[in-house]
Structure 1
């Protein structure tokens, strides 16, 4: 076991910024209004299974199609960069149709365990031990579950402007993470 707080902490923060569950509270509130109910337990469980499974088989899938982890990490840094720009500038670069129900599909995937999260997990695998990433995933899923359960209260307390400020702060953090991810992995390609 290579459990290390010096790996768990940054991995947890990176996933926290990418998942951006606090920034997703307005989307969650909208889904709840459309569907009437969100199954927080099921969404959190399915998202964690997707993330942990991708941690183990994601690299094999990449090898199958002939891509190394460094290339995927560099590509992932671009995705994180554009996600950060969306968060900071309040623009939408990627348009996805709003789901009609708050089932597992829109909530667990792609809202929680989306492309940015899965890319980050593989990128983290290039830098950290697997067990530390699993702890980071579990810590984030616990937080996601708490946020899903209390999204109505959070919206009332923070208001729309408070949520917007938090989203921009995490956007800047995510931008810094994207730059670090790019600079760390680009040398392995050159």
Structure 2
């Protein structure tokens, strides 16, 4: 296996697990239940575009921001690992550590799905770490692939729920949470050893 393929696979698994589009499906369905199919698809399109642009910008500019702030990559690995661990615990145990955000009248469904659900602090910190480990191209390709798969899931969210049910989607989300906790441990360990 080439270095690029190995780096792409490692980056993709990390990014897709953190994005956890399965956890976004119930929220997307709830926020778009009054929209027709075309409007829901447009909201999914916009959400993925926003998430992808934010992720790509942070992938390329995140390290420069850390340098400017005087934060080392090992510091960021530890901090990112803690954030990912907490996100994983939330996913597995079903509680929220942050304050619940209430949607205001003017807020767009797409923005709420894009961030913080798909592209939140866990993903942004992971992108900086991945770019430090593998360079820019494997995480970029992995980000675009994960966004494409997330788009497929969001566009088909209603069909998926009808096909497999809420319980199966919840189980997938909890498995993603366990994987996220394992990634968090790996990030913290890497930060402490490095």
| Cα shift at 1:128 | 1.5
Alignment partners' CA distance in 2, 1:174 and 1:33: 29
User: Contact between 2:11 and 2:142, CA under 8 Å: does it hold in 1?
Assistant: yes
- Partner of 2:8 in structure 1? 8
Q: 2:59 aligns with which of 55, 62, 70?
A: 55
TM-score, length-normalised on structure 1? 0.91
Deviation at 1:165, TM superposition (A): 0.9
Query: Where does 1:36-185 land on structure 2 (aligned, <5 Å)?
Result: 37-38=39-40, 39-100=43-104, 101-185=107-191
Q: Check whether the contact 1:21–1:144 (CA below 8 A) recurs between aligned residues.
A: yes
CA contact under 8 A between 1:3 and 1:132: conserved in structure 2? no
Say whether the 8 Å CA contact 2:48–2:147 is kept in structure 1. Answer: yes
- The alignment partner of 1:95 has SS state of coil
8 A contact 1:34–1:102 mirrored in 2: no
> Is the Cα–Cα contact under 8 Å of residues 32 and 102 in structure 1 kept in the other structure?
no
**Count of equivalent residues:** 187
Deviation at 1:173, TM superposition (A): 0.7
When residues 112 and 152 of structure 1 are mapped into structure 2, their CA distance, relative to the original with a 3 A threshold, is: same
Instruction: Mark the runs of 5 or more structure 1 residues left unpaired by the alignment.
Output: none
RMSD: 1.8
TM (norm. structure 2) is 0.89
Matches of 2:35 and 2:77, distance apart in 1: 36
Q: List, as ranges, runs of 4+ consecutive aligned residues in structure 1 with deviation greater than 4 Å.
A: none
Q: Give distance in 2, aligned partners of 1:128 and 1:177.
A: 16
